Structures are given as structure tokens and as C-alpha cells.
């Protein structure tokens, strides 16, 4: 990776910087280079399409973890400009890998819960690289129960490599925190819209991921195990991660086909990092549309449908009938 | 039977699990004498088996099969298995998965990593689920998720207590995201049982980690752990590999987990039947004669 760009993007990034250079040169020296620039731009558009139209699962993983990819707070700033963050789980401390708070969406109050990675080393340390501790999940649950009390819909944004696996997390009950969230989220009596915006890292993602609608950005990923972890188990070599990414079926398209997500939210060509505003607008439109539908459903039916939604996930056979359930 | 049958949406298959532990030979070291892996004392094989594969000298719990656990926990001939015919698919077309499940089936004599059913413990009717670590590390794929969910739903329908003995390395990688979703599915089902006022006792056997620990196994009204069992979200190996923390001795073991407040009690395998019966009594559950509807 060079200057925060991915290897497979390199030819495009080089071409784009040449165009920018020509523009600057043309302006400085007052020389008309329109023709040259237009030619290069056409070339760039063609290249962009070639590179991004046929991404491998491994390349999508790189996009989902792209250093410039919009993070939860970027989406929050663009979609919920009046967001007010609320802190702490009222039990232990405030976990900075999970953000929660209140905002309005199209004039109606909502509760927003999001997993937040850091943009640089300093912020990543503060945010624990987006890996929540149990107190993060307990803060999320506290705010979700608050949302239920006041009849506010819940919107969660998923972006985490996973729940933190350290000793302190064990001491404070990481497994219990996740399990309790799964149980309560399945029965909260308000609409829940989940958006996987980047990395959906296993149980750490699912712990804020039980909802009525599961949406996923085009280049996001969602997996039971990291491709590196899977490769280490299967091939005893983490460098087989791209092969593992393909085998695990972790792209938005895969998950849509497996009926785990409801909708794929399109990203600008080249990935979300190329246009934050457009990506956020797409996410917002999808949330608003889904919430409108959910708000029409009687809350009792909503909870019933949510149970049924997860109830039917899975593929198995009854030996006697040989029929897929 | 017909009346119970009507209760269930899917057709239950009542198959009595082999009671004697003869097909668990593989779990027991060969020979007349065995040297305890833990304390090094020489033990008479029969003696070890009689003490439910717990070393009479040091209390070390040897790993046992799901069938062995059932045979030594429930009233004789009382176990009626549910959903014995559920078999895994290969939804992702994952490398070597069908071969892996076939090998696990041959090795364990089970179709999947959990046995569920209805039985009596000291005369008290319960719904019981027991996981099999020997089946791909007791991993939870779609079948395990479905059987646990159905067991919870049956506990609601029959108003019987639910007991699950969990031992698992977590979600089954080979079924990818669908395995992860079983965590949500089973937790939702336990949530329904909770709302219905049903009793759920979760028993954690060695080891119980990751996806199973982070779902139904952690949601018991009462959580019992086996002595010195590995009980964790992320096992010590994962921690050492990923965050490279140095771990104090005994971390991630039942005693450590209880000390931190996440387990109600630690119960020796030899005492489990009595302890469960006692807990069931505290919840107003009493023994009934013959086959009961609850
Ligand atoms: Zn011993």
C-alpha cells in the first residue's frame, strides 16, 4: 500500500494525479490543455470501470478496510448533523469504540449506535481500533432500551474488526455482554435498522446487528471470522486471506444471496472513500425509506417479524425428507 | 405421545439414545490401568469410568461424549430424542466441508454437534440439549442453531425447564455468516423462553468459548460450569496471538470466570445430577411417574 492507496488502485491513482498536475500547470502557465486533459479523463474513467467493476472478494476486503474509507462519525456528521453523543454504560466506563446518542432524521428523533475506528494511530489507540469492550455493548444496550422507552427507532452502524479479545474483556464478561445484546435486540419494541458500513467482524458486529432491516454498503464485508483467521486455520498461513475471503462469502452480494441482509447500498465507483457525500446520501436514503416502511407496522407484529426473520436463517436438511428448511 | 406430538410444529422423532457408555470407548484410554494426565496417579480404568471419567485422586475432568453425559445424567430409558434427522448442508460450498462433516459423523455416530430431547432427571421432566465437542469442535452451524432453537421453543410449549450442556469452540467457520446468525437466532429463542417465564439452566463443559459462549450459553437463569473448564469469549491462544497479552495462570478457567461474576456455581460432573435436581426443586419442579406431558 502506497500513501494509503491500494495496490490495485495504483494505476488509477497515478493517472488521476497526472490529470491534477496538468490542470495546475495549465492554470499557472495559462496554457490551454483541455484536449489533453479530456483524453486522460476518458482514459481514467475507463480504467476506473475496469478496476472496480470486477473486484475480487479479497480486493473488497481491502476496500472495506481502506484507510480513507468513511468511518461511522463521517456518516453521522453527514446524515445526522444534530447528533448529540451520550456516554457510558453506567456500570464501568465509557467505551470509545462504540458511539451512541440522539439525533433527528427527517424531523423525527432516533437513537444512533455506531462502532467507531480511529483515523490515525493516536485515535485508533483511543478507540481501541474499533474493537469494543463489554462496556461498549452495555452502553449500546442502555441507549437502545432508552430508545424503546421513548419510542424512538434505532439505527446502528457496524464497523469493527471484532469484539476486543483481551484479558480485561474476559474479566468484564465479553461473551455475556454480546449474548445479552442479541437477546434484547431481538425483542426491543421499536424499529431497528442496521447498516454494515465497513467491517462486520463476527460477534462484535452482530452484538449491535440484530434488527428489522439489515442493510450493507456495496464494498462492506460481514463475516464469522476474519479472512486472515480463517486462512490461518485452513492453510496455516494468513497470507491465504484472499482465498479465505472468497470461501467465506463475505461480500454484500454474497450475504444478500444467503438472505442474511435485506439490501445492498450502492457506493460511488471506486468505493465509498471516493465520495463521502454521495455515499452518505445513499445510506441516508436507504435508512429513511426502510424506516418509513417499518413505522407502518404495528410494534407487536414488528417484533414477531424480527424473530421470524432470524428464526429462518440457516441451511439444513431433514434426513428423512431430504428437504431444505 | 400423540398429544405431545401435536404440540410441536415439526414432527418429533423419538429415538432412545444408547444408555450404556460402551460406544464411548474412544474417550477412555485403552488398557486396564491408566496414568492420570493431570496428577500422574495410576488409576484403575473401571474406577475412572465409575467416577464418570473424573479422576478420583485429583478431580480432573476427562472429556466425555454427549452420549456419555446423557447416559449418566438422565433417568434410565427416559431420553426421547428430538430432531435426530437434521443434517448439515454446505451452503457456501466451503472447501472440504462435506468431507469434514462425514468424518465427524463417522467418528461420533451423531449427525451433528448437539443432541436434544426430552427426559427426566430424578423423575423431573425436562428438555435437554447436550453438545458434542468431538463433532467439529462442538461448533455451531445451522443444525446446532436450529436444534437449540427448537428445544427452547419446545420448552415454551411444554412449560418444561430447559437444560443445555454446552461445549464448543464457537461458530462453525465452514457455514460462514449463517453460523454467526445462529447466535442471534438461539439468543432470540432463549429470550422468548425468558419472557414466557421458563427456567433455563446453562451448563458449561470444557471447553465453552466464542460464538456459543457469546449467545445461548451465557443466557441461563442459572449458569453452572464444570471445574477448571475453559470458559471464555476468546481463548488464551487467541489472546496471545492477537493482542499478545501475558496471561495470569488460571485465566479463562471456570474459577476465574466465577470470581469475575459470570458463573453461578461450579459443579463436579459427579454432582451434576443431584445439583440439577435440587435446582429444579427450588423452581417447584417435582418428580412425576411414568411418561409425562409436563
Ligand atoms: Zn488425577
**Ligand 1 centre and the CA of B60: distance in Å?**
5
Do residues B166 and B212 make contact, with C-beta atoms less than 8 angstroms apart? yes
* Residue A235 three-state SS: coil
Mean pLDDT of B201-206: 98
Residues of B within 8 A of A175 (CB-CB) are: 210, 213-214, 217-218, 232-233, 262
Q: Could you tell me whether strands B265-266 and A108-115 are parallel, antiparallel, or unpaired per DSSP bridges?
A: unpaired
Q: What is the pLDDT of residue B10?
A: 38
Query: In this structure, what C-alpha cell is assigned to residue A8?
Result: 490495485
Q: Which residues of chain A have pLDDT under 70?
A: 1-4, 321-325
CATH of B4-27+64-282, one of 1.10.569.10, 3.30.230.10, 3.90.226.10, 3.40.50.2300: 3.90.226.10
Q: Do B182 and A314 touch (CB under 8 A)?
A: yes
| Per-residue pLDDT at B171 | 97
Residue A101: strand, helix, or coil: strand
- The nearest CA of chain B is from the CA of A143 a distance in Å of 19
Q: Which residues of B touch A184 (CB under 8 A)?
A: 191
* Strand order across the beta sheet in which A323-324 lies: A323-324, A316-318, B86-88
* Cβ <8 Å between A180 and B218: yes
Quick one: closest CA in B to A235, which residue? Answer: B95
Measured between CA atoms, the residue of chain B closest to residue A128 is B243
Residue A197 confidence (pLDDT): 98
- Ligand 1 centroid to residue B139 C-alpha, Å: 28
> CA A202, CA A112: separation in Å to the nearest integer?
20
Which residues, 6+ apart, have CB-to-CB distance to B259 below 8 Å? none
Rounded Cα distance, B267 and B283, in Å: 19
**DSSP 3-state assignment of A217?**
strand
By mean pLDDT, which of A108-112, A141-145, B33-37, B77-81 is the weakest? B33-37
Q: What is the per-residue pLDDT for A3?
A: 53
**What pLDDT score does B212 carry?**
98
**ipTM of the shown complex:** 0.92
B246-252 long-range CB contacts below 8 Å, 24 or more apart?
A: B247/A167, B248/A167, B251/A167, B251/A170, B252/A170
Do the strands B200-209 and B231-232 form a parallel or antiparallel pair, or are they unpaired? parallel
Q: Is the CB of residue B201 less than 8 Å from the CB of residue B163?
A: yes
For residues A83 and A280, the answer to whether their CB atoms sit within 8 Å is no
State the distance from the centre of ligand 1 to the C-alpha of B36, rounded, in angstroms.
5
pLDDT of B244 above 80: no
Per the CB < 8 A criterion, the answer to whether B179 and B171 are in contact is yes
- Across the interface, whether the CB atoms of B260 and A172 are under 8 A apart is answered yes
Q: Which of A207, A230, A314 sits opposite B178 (nearest CB)?
A: A314
Pairing of strands A263-265, B80-82: unpaired
The band of B238, judged by pLDDT with boundaries at 50, 70 and 90, is confident
Q: Which residues of A touch B214 (CB under 8 A)?
A: 163, 174-175, 178-179, 182, 203, 207
Is residue B29 very low, low, confident or very high in pLDDT (cuts 50, 70, 90)?
low
What are the start-end ranges of the H helices in chain A?
A: 10-29, 34-53, 57-64, 72-79, 121-126, 134-149, 167-171, 174-185, 202-206, 227-234, 241-248, 252-257, 276-295, 299-311
Distance A83 CA to ligand 1 centre (A): 60
Residue in the block written with cell 449506535: A113
What are the helix (H) ranges across A80-133?
121-126
Residue B156 grid coordinates:
415454551
Q: What is the mean pLDDT of residues B169-189?
A: 98
The tens digit of pLDDT for each residue in B118-147 reads: 999 999 999 999 999 999 999 999 999 999
Interchain contact B60–A (C-beta under 8 A): no
With CB atoms and an 8 Å threshold, state whether B233 touches A222.
Answer: no
Print burial letters for B139-166: b (CB count within 10 Å at least 16), e (below 16): bbbbbbbbbbbbbbbbbbbbebbbbbbb
For residues B154 and B8, the answer to whether their CB atoms sit within 8 Å is yes
Cα of B212 vs centre of ligand 1, distance in Å, is 29
B86, B173 Cβ separation under 8 angstroms: no
Residue B18, pLDDT above cutoff 70: no
**Cβ contact A183–B219 (<8 Å):** yes
pTM here is 0.91
Label the pairing between strands A213-217 and A263-265.
Answer: parallel
Query: Which neighbouring-strand residues pair with B203?
Result: B165, B224
Closest Cα in chain A, distance from residue B265 (Å) = 16
Distance from CA of B258 to the nearest CA of A (A): 10
Pairing of strands A98-105, A108-115: antiparallel
Domain boundaries of chain B, sorted by first residue = 4-27+64-282, 32-63
CA distances (Å), origin B213, targets A32, B116, B180: 67, 18, 12
B180 and A CB contact within 8 Å = yes
pLDDT of residue B222: 98
Residue B289 predicted with pLDDT over 90: no
Nearest to A318 among B85, B175, B252 (CB): B85
Check residue A311 and give its pLDDT: 98
**CB within 5 A of ion ligand 1: which residues?**
B 36, 38-39, 55, 57-58, 60
**Residue B21: per-residue pLDDT:** 41
- CB B151, CB B145: distance < 8 Å: no
Contacts of B182 in chain A (CB under 8 A): 313-314
Which residue of chain B has the CA closest to A324?
A: B89
- Ligand 1 centroid vs B29 CA: distance in angstroms? 14
pLDDT digits (tens, 9 = 90+) for A264-307: 999 998 899 999 999 999 999 999 999 999 999 999 999 999 99
CA of B66 to the centre of ligand 1 (A): 22
SS (H, E, C) chain B: CHHHHHHCCCCCCCCCCCCCHHHHHHHCCCCCEEECCCCCCEEEHHHHHHCCCECCCCCCECCCCHHHHHHCCCCCCCCEEECCCEEECCCCCCCCHHHHHHHHHHHHCCCCCEEEEEEEECCEEEEEEEECCCCHHHCECHHHHHHHHHHHHHHHHHCCCEEEEEEECCECHHHHHHHHHHHHHHHHHHHHHHHCCCCEEEEEEEEEEHHHHCCHHHCCCEEEECCCCEEECCCHHHHHHHCCCCCCCCCCEHHHHHHCCCCCEECCHHHHHHHHHHHHHHCCCCCCCCCCCC
Average pLDDT value over all residues in chain B = 89
Q: Would you place residue B2 in the very low, low, confident or very high pLDDT band (cuts 50, 70, 90)?
A: very low
State the CB neighbour count (10 A cutoff) for residue B12: 21
| Centroid of ligand 1 to alpha carbon of B117 (angstroms) | 33
Q: Which residue has the higher pLDDT, B114 or B251?
A: B114
Nearest residue, CB atoms, A223 vs list B177, B191, B192: B177
The four Cα atoms A315, A320, A322, A325 give a dihedral, to 10 degrees, of -30
How many CB atoms are located within 10 Å of the residue B245 CB?
A: 14
Cell of A178: 454480546
Amino acid at each position: 500500500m502506497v500513501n494509503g492507496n491500494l495496490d490495485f488502485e495504483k494505476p488509477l491513482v497515478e493517472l488521476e494525479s497526472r490529470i491534477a498536475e496538468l490542470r495546475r500547470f495549465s492554470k499557472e502557465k495559462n496554457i490551454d490543455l483541455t484536449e489533453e486533459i479530456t483524453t486522460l479523463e476518458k482514459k481514467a474513467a475507463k480504467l476506473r470501470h475496469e478496476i472496480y467493476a470486477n473486484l475480487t472478494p479479497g480486493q473488497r476486503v481491502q476496500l472495506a478496510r481502506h484507510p480513507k474509507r468513511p468511518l461511522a462519525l463521517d456518516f453521522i456528521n453527514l446524515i445526522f448533523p444534530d447528533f448529540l453523543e451520550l456516554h457510558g454504560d453506567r456500570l464501568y466506563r465509557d467505551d470509545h469504540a462504540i458511539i451512541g446518542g440522539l439525533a433527528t432524521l427527517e424531523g423525527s428523533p432516533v437513537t444512533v449506535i455506531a462502532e467507531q475506528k480511529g483515523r490515525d494511530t493516536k485515535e485508533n489507540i483511543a478507540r481501541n481500533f474499533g474493537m469494543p469492550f463489554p462496556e461498549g455493548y452495555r452502553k449500546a444496550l442502555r441507549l437502545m432500551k432508552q430508545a424503546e422507552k421513548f419510542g424512538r427507532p434505532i439505527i446502528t452502524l457496524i464497523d469493527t474488526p471484532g469484539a476486543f479479545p483481551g484479558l480485561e474483556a474476559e474479566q468484564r464478561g465479553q461473551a455475556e455482554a454480546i449474548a445479552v445484546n442479541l437477546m434484547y435486540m431481538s425483542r426491543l419494541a421499536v424499529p431497528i435498522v442496521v447498516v454494515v458500513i465497513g467491517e462486520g467482524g463476527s460477534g462484535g458486529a452482530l452484538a449491535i446487528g440484530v434488527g428489522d432491516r439489515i442493510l450493507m454498503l456495496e464494498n462492506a464485508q460481514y463475516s464469522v471470522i476474519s479472512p486472515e483467521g480463517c486462512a490461518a486455520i485452513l492453510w496455516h498461513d494468513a497470507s491465504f486471506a484472499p482465498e479465505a475471503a472468497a470461501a467465506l462469502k463475505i461480500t454484500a452480494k454474497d450475504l444478500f444471496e444467503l438472505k442474511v441482509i435485506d439490501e445492498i447500498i450502492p457506493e460511488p465507483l471506486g468505493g465509498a472513500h471516493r465520495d463521502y457525500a454521495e455515499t452518505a446520501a445513499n445510506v441516508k436514503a436507504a435508512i429513511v425509506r426502510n424506516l418509513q416502511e417499518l413505522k407502518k407496522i404495528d410494534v407487536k407484529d414488528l417484533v414477531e417479524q424480527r424473530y421470524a426473520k432470524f428464526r429462518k436463517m440457516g441451511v439444513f436438511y431433514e434426513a428423512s425428507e431430504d428437504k431444505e428448511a | 405421545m400423540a398429544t405431545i406430538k401435536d404440540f410441536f410444529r415439526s414432527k418429533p422423532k423419538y429415538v432412545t439414545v444408547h444408555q450404556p457408555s460402551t460406544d464411548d470407548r474412544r474417550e477412555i484410554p485403552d488398557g486396564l490401568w491408566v496414568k492420570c494426565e493431570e496428577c500422574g496417579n495410576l488409576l484403575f480404568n473401571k474406577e475412572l469410568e465409575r467416577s464418570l471419567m473424573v479422576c478420583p485422586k485429583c478431580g480432573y475432568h476427562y472429556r466425555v461424549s454427549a452420549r456419555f453425559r446423557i447416559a449418566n445424567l438422565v433417568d434410565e430409558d427416559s431420553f426421547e430424542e428430538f430432531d435426530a434427522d437434521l443434517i448439515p448442508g454446505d451452503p457456501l460450498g466451503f472447501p472440504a466441508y462435506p468431507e469434514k462433516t462425514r468424518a465427524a459423523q463417522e467418528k461420533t455416530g451423531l449427525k451433528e454437534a448437539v443432541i436434544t430431547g426430552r427426559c427426566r432427571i430424578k423423575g423431573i421432566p425436562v428438555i435437554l440439549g447436550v453438545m458434542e465437542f468431538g463433532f467439529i469442535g462442538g461448533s455451531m452451524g445451522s443444525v446446532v442453531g436450529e436444534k437449540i432453537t427448537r428445544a427452547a421453543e419446545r420448552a415454551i410449549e411444554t412449560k418444561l425447564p430447559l437444560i443445555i450442556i454446552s461445549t464448543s469452540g464457537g461458530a462453525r467457520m465452514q457455514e460462514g455468516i449463517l453460523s454467526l446468525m445462529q447466535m442471534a437466532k438461539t439468543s432470540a429463542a432463549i429470550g422468548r423462553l425468558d419472557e414466557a417465564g421458563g427456567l433455563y439452566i446453562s451448563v458449561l463443559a470444557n471447553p465453552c468459548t466464542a460464538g456459543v459462549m457469546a449467545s445461548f450459553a451465557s443466557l441461563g437463569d442459572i449458569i453452572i460450569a464444570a471445574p477448571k473448564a475453559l470458559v471464555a469469549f476468546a481463548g488464551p491462544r487467541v489472546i496471545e496471538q492477537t493482542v499478545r497479552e501475558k496471561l495470569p495462570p488460571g485465566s479463562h478457567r471456570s474459577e476465574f470466570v466465577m470470581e469475575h461474576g459470570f458463573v453461578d456455581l461450579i459443579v463436579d460432573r459427579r454432582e451434576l445430577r443431584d445439583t440439577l435436581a435440587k435446582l429444579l426443586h427450588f423452581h417447584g419442579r417435582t418428580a412425576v411417574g411414568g411418561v409425562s406431558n409436563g
